[in-house]
């Protein structure tokens, strides 16, 4: 009898969680584009996990793209090189497969770091206000006054070329957006009655922020963070294309596009002869970014309280 009563208590306690999961699944099912986004991301996750099987690394460093003896021009797709070779005879198939891991590393690491910094600074500025808020917001305004890509390029030039420095530059450029967003949400929520009640019973500032304010203000930030993953990958690809990102021969989609700059259009009977040098890496970038954008829309449908009430 005791075990049955505990089982009933467990089911009763899990009922809200199960109801919430069912609600989320129903919201996703009602949006075909959300299903497409989830499918695309799962597809790229599978490629990243199976990269050692799909493209066995010939070197100790798996991100070093193999290349054959130099030819004057890129080689078309063949049995040996499924997607063909780029300038310098770098294998496009290997570069795109292992470049998937690089894309996840770039997107997730940069967004996670930017989000952590933005949450910390935004919470402090929005909750305490006054001179602290003024100083922090003016500093973020200075950073936001510069175009993101230009400022990231300046940071990379100052730090030195390399993928790690490019990621650091993107973090330094990206955190102010999250700071302003979370600050605005906290300014709205800290006026609510339940926050005042928590302060009245003697809750510390940390507890009020973590237990009462942040859980009710984090959803818009998470939606934006999901959408930003694709944008970060695009910006990192632009840095690599300009020679400020990944090192030469590194498995990176932007680097693969960079190898095609001299072969996008050639004079002669077939001006698009080397289409594979830019179309294939470009499709990987396009599909990856599209997947995250659609997934962000799915999160918005699930987490946005204004949509949930309809």
Q: What is the pLDDT of residues 129-150, one digit of tens each?
A: 889 889 999 999 999 898 888 9
CATH of 32-308, one of 3.40.640.10, 1.10.3720.10, 3.40.50.300, 1.10.620.20: 1.10.3720.10
Most confident listed range (20-34, 111-125, 268-282): 111-125
* Residue 123 clears pLDDT 70, i.e. is over it: yes
pLDDT (0 to 100) of residue 9:
57
- Reported as a single tens digit per residue, the pLDDT across 241-279 is 888 888 888 899 988 888 888 887 766 666 678 888 889
Hey, where are the domains in the chain?
32-308
* Mean of the per-residue pLDDT values of the chain: 83
Secondary structure of the chain in the HEC alphabet?
Answer: CHHHHHHHHHHHHHHHHHHHHHHHHHHHHCCHHHHHHHHHHHHHHHHHHCHHHHCCCCCCCCCECCECCCCCCCCCCCCCCCCCECCCCEEHHHHHHHHHHHHHHHHHHHHHHHHHHHHHHHHHHHHHCHHHHHHHHHHHHHHHCCCHHHHHHHHHHHHCCCHHHHHHHHHHHHHHHHHHHHHHHHHHHCCCHHHHHHHHCCCCHHHHHHHHHHHHHCHHHHHHHHHHHHHHHHHHHHHHHCCCCCCCCECCHHHHHHCCCCCCCCCCCCCCCCCHHHHHHHHHHHHHHHHHHHHHHHHHHHHCHHHHCC
């Amino acid at each position: 009898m005791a075990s049955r009563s505990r089982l009933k208590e467990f089911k009763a306690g899990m009922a809200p969680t199960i109801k919430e999961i069912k609600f989320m699944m129903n919201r996703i099912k009602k949006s075909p584009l959300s299903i497409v986004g989830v499918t695309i991301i799962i597809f790229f996750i599978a490629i990243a996990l199976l990269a050692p099987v799909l493209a066995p690394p010939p070197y100790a460093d798996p991100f070093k793209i193999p290349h054959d003896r130099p030819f004057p021009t890129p080689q078309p797709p063949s049995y040996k090189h499924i997607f063909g070779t780029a300038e310098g005879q770098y294998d496009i198939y290997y570069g795109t497969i292992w470049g998937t891991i690089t894309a996840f590393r770039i997107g997730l690491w940069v967004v996670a770091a930017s989000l952590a910094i933005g949450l910390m600074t935004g919470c402090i500025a929005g909750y305490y206000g006054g001179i602290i808020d003024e100083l922090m917001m003016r500093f973020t305004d200075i950073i936001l006054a510069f175009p993101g890509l230009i400022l990231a390029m300046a940071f990379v030039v100052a730090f030195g070329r390399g993928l790690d420095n490019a990621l650091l530059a993107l973090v330094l450029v990206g955190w102010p957006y999250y700071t302003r967003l979370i600050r605005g949400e906290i300014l709205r929520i800290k006026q609510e009655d339940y926050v005042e009640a928590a302060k009245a019973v003697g809750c510390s500032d940390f507890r009020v922020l973590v237990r009462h304010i942040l859980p009710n203000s984090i959803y818009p930030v998470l939606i934006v963070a999901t959408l930003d993953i694709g944008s970060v990958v695009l910006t990192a690809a632009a840095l690599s294309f300009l020679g400020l990102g990944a090192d030469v021969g590194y498995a990176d989609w932007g680097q693969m596009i960079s190898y095609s700059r001299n072969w996008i259009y050639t004079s002669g009977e077939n001006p698009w002869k080397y289409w594979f040098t830019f179309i294939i890496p470009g499709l990987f970038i396009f599909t990856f970014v599209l997947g995250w954008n659609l997934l962000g829309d799915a999160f918005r449908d699930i987490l946005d309280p204004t949509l949930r009430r309809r």
